[in-house]
Structure 1
C-alpha cells in the first residue's frame, strides 16, 4: 500500500515559483514564438492580407516553393555520438570576412509595406548579430540610411537588378560603394516578372489601394495602419515615384537583354566582392567560375519567378563538386529552420540567406521581431551541430546528410528500369 500524507509547506514552496509577468505585449508575443513558423502565425494575424500574401506567395501554382521546402523536410541526418560538444563555433569566413552565423538576411522588396521599420530593422539587427544584410534594388529605405542604421560594424550587401537604363543601375552601384557596402549581389533570374497570382488577386499595388475588401481586412489590424499612416510615406530607395501594380513596375525596370557580357561589365566597375544570385544549373555555375566572380547563390527566387524551377538544395552537391574549389557557393529558397542551414553547410554551401523568415519576424515585431528570428535560427543551428557531434562548421561534411529521394527525374527511373 502507498503511504499518503498531507503536503508540508516547505515541500510546496519549490512548486509555487511564479514567473515574473512581462508587461510588454510585443515582448510576450515574441517570447512565445519558438520557431519561425510561430513568427509566421503572429505576422499573419497582424498584417493585412495583401502585404502578408506578397511575402508568403510565390509564382503561379507555387510548386517551386513547395518543393524547396519539402526538400529540407526530406533530410536525414547522421549524427556522431560521444563527442565533446561543450563548445560550438557557429561562425567562419564568408567572402573574406567572418560571420557569427552561416546565414544572412536576403534582399527583399517593398519591405516597409510589411512593417514600417523595414530595412532599418533588418540591417541593425543583422549588424548586432554579426551577420550580413542585403538591401534590394526594390528596397524602401535609402542606401545611405541602411548604412547608418547598421552602424560602423554592420556588413551590408547591395542586390542589383540590371535596369534597362544602365546609367541608373550603375548610379545605385556607385552609391552602394560610397556607403561602404562590401558585396554586390547581381540577381539574374528576373528577365521579366513572374506570375504572382496572389498579388494580382489581392490588387497589390504601390501605394496600396483602399478597396472595401482592404478596409474590412484591416479592421482587426489597426496597429499596421496606424504605423503606415503616421510614418514617412512609402517610397523606393531607387525610384522616385510609381503608381501601378507590382508586376507593371517590375516589367518596366527589368531588362530581358542582359547577358554575360553585361555581367562582366558590372564586375569591372565594382570594387568589392561580386556574387551572382539566381543560378539554377551546373552549366551556368561553371561559366561564372570561368568569369571569375567571387561567389554564386543557388536560388529560384523563393519560387517567385519560374514555377517548377530546380530545387536549389537538390542542386547544391553537384554545383559544389563542379565549382566549389574556385568560388563560394551560397544558397537560398525554402529555408525555415536552423537544421535546414546546417544541412546546406554540410553539403558544401558556404553561406545561406533567409527572406521570408526575416519578414515574418519583421511583421511580428519590427526590430525586436527580427532579433527574435535570428535568435531562433541561431539556437537551432547550434543545437543541430551539437546533436550531430560537431563543434565547428568546418567539421560538417556530406556524410552528415542524406537527401531522401522523393521526386527522381523520369530519365533516372527509365535508365534504372532498362538496367534491370
Structure 2
C-alpha cells in the first residue's frame, strides 16, 4: 500500500455559506478483517471529522454505529460539541464480525428517531465506511433508507481481500442507483488505501454539509418554491378574498417550511401588482401563515398576464436552482390583458396551476396551466368550495415529484 495514493476527485460543491445543520450518522466497520491498526485509523478519521464539522446544537449533530451486529456507540444527542465527541470516539472498542452493512436497516428503523435526537428539520445523512466490500445485499436496505429521506454516502476503502471475495454478494454495488441516491459520484467516495483515509475528511464534510444537494432527503413536501398569484380585483370582494387567503393557508400548511425545505412567496394583483412577501422571507410555518392572514385586499381591475410576468421577475428569478418551481394562479374573472404569452414564457421553468372561480374564463385557465390541463387547472362556481381542491393539488404536486427520475 502506498501512502501517497490520492483520493479520486469529483467536482466539489461550492459552499453555500450556511450553517451545516445535518443529523449525521457514521456506520463504522468493526469486522475482524480490518484488524486493530485499521480500526484505529478509522477512529482517527471519525475524530477528525468530528473536529472539522464543528458539532453543535445549531449546526451538525453526529453519531456513530458500529457493525457487523449493529450497535449504537454514540447517539445524535449524546454530545453537543466536537471536543467531547472526539474524546468519546477514542474510547470505542472493536466488536468484530463479518464486513457487512445490515446496519442500514438498523439506521432506517431505529437510529434516526426523535428519542435518539433526530431533529426533523435537519437532513438525515448516513455515511457507511466499508473495508473491502459488503457481504450482504445492500440494495433493499438502501432503498428503504432512501425512501425514508436518508442520504446515504459510501466511503469504500481498498477492495475486498482474497478471503472476502468468496463471500461477496454484490459486485460494484456503489455504482448501482439502488445503493446511493445518485450515481454521479457525489454520494460515493472511494479511497485507495487506509493510509489515504484522512485525505477524505475535507471532501466528505464539504459534501454532507451541502444541504442543497442532499436530494435524497427531498420529498414532494420540502423541495419547492411555491408562488401564489392572487386576484385582488373588485369583483372578488372582502369576504371572498379572506376565503381565498384561507385556501392559500390550507395549501401552505401541508408543506415543510424552511429556507432549505419549501419556501412560499405571494403576489396580489389588480391592474397593478404587489409583492406581498418573497421566497424565504418567512422561514417557519407559523410566521408564514400569519403573513398570509395579514395580506390586505386591494381591489381594482384584472390583469392576470402582467401578474404572471411580475411573479416570474420578482419571485422565480430569485428561486434556488435545486427547487421545483410551482406557481398557483387564483382568479375569479377574465383578464383585461393577454395571458397566453406570459404563461408560455413561465412554462419553460415553472409548473403552473390555475384556480378559477365564478366568472373565470375556461380558455384562460387552460392557457395558464401547465399541460396536461386537467391536472393543473381547476374551476369552482363559488369561493366557499375552494377548500375541496387542496388535497387534489397536493396529490398532483407529489405525484409529479415522485414520477421524476431520481438518478
The structure with the greater share of residues assigned to helix is: 1
Give the TM-score normalised by the residue count of structure 1: 0.26
The structure with the greater share of residues assigned to strand is: 2
Give the TM-score normalised by the residue count of structure 2: 0.26
The answer to which structure, 1 or 2, has the higher relative contact order (CA under 8 A, 6+ apart) is: 1
